[in-house]
Amino acid sequence: EAGVAQSPRYKIIEKRQSVAFWCNPISGHATLYWYQQILGQGPKLLIQFQNNGVVDDSQLPKDRFSAERLKGVDSTLKIQPAKLEDSAVYLCASSHRASYYGYTFGSGTRLTVV
Amino acid sequence: GQQLNQSPQSMFIQEGEDVSMNCTSSSIFNTWLWYKQDPGEGPVLLIALYKAGELTSNGRLTAQFGITRKDSFLNISASIPSDVGIYFCAGLYNNNDMRFGAGTRLTVKP
């Protein structure tokens, strides 16, 4: 089966600019996650969707980050405006249900804010 | 929140040697997971542990869920060059809350 697709792979922006990342989960996976992975650290959950509804966004900096999952398939994560500390790899993952089992990560988008 | 302490931070070993890394927490987790991440890729699940005391193997990998539910270890036997990467432990507090350790960077010298 096809994996979790993410784009773009790399993005360089200036601080205060906006950026958006796209994720296409594995077909049929109802649960979608966005993680932030800062260099030298493990991934940190930003938001979890079940179909097109938000299950957990407690660690999402809502003053600048937003995410949506229209129609319960693709998802977009946006940062507006970006700060230097947002430089990280943004990973999308999906699973068949709200369970760790079958949790598949995409290759991520590496964001550099200068 | 639940914090995971993973050690060592990095390891440099010779091909053929065994490797051991561990993860501890001050909190109890219901599930422990071990992932491997190659450069430029997302983490890939290696082993999942579901109950305290469980010992599970996957080829040359063996992992255990600590009795106290606050720790786990991963062993790799007879390391090979393709074992190079970053290994992450992750603890699942509930189905919606998974926390990752900071990772162990493994280098294998041929």
Helices (H) and strands (E) in chain A, counts: 0, 11
- Cβ pair B10, B93 in contact under 8 A: no
The residues of B whose Cβ lies within 8 A of any Cβ of A are 4, 6, 31, 33, 40-45, 48, 88, 90, 92, 95-103
Query: What is the pLDDT confidence band of residue A74, given thresholds at 50, 70 and 90?
Result: very high
Q: What is the DSSP letter of B106?
A: E
Residue A23 burial (CB < 10 Å; 0-12/13-18/19+)? buried
Q: Provide DSSP, A69-106.
A: -GGGS-EEEEESS--GGG-EEEEEEEESSSSSTT-EE-
Contact B44 A41 (CB under 8 A): no
Distance from CA of A47 to the nearest CA of B (A): 10
Contact A42 B42 (CB under 8 A): no
pLDDT for the residue numbered A72: 85
pLDDT in tens, B20-77: 999 999 999 989 999 999 999 999 999 999 999 999 999 999 999 999 999 999 999 9
pLDDT of B96 over the 70 cut:
no
pLDDT of A100 over the 60 cut:
no
pLDDT of B2 over the 90 cut:
no
The residues, any chain, with a CB within 8 Å of residue A72's CB and separated by 6 or more, are A30, A49, A51, A52
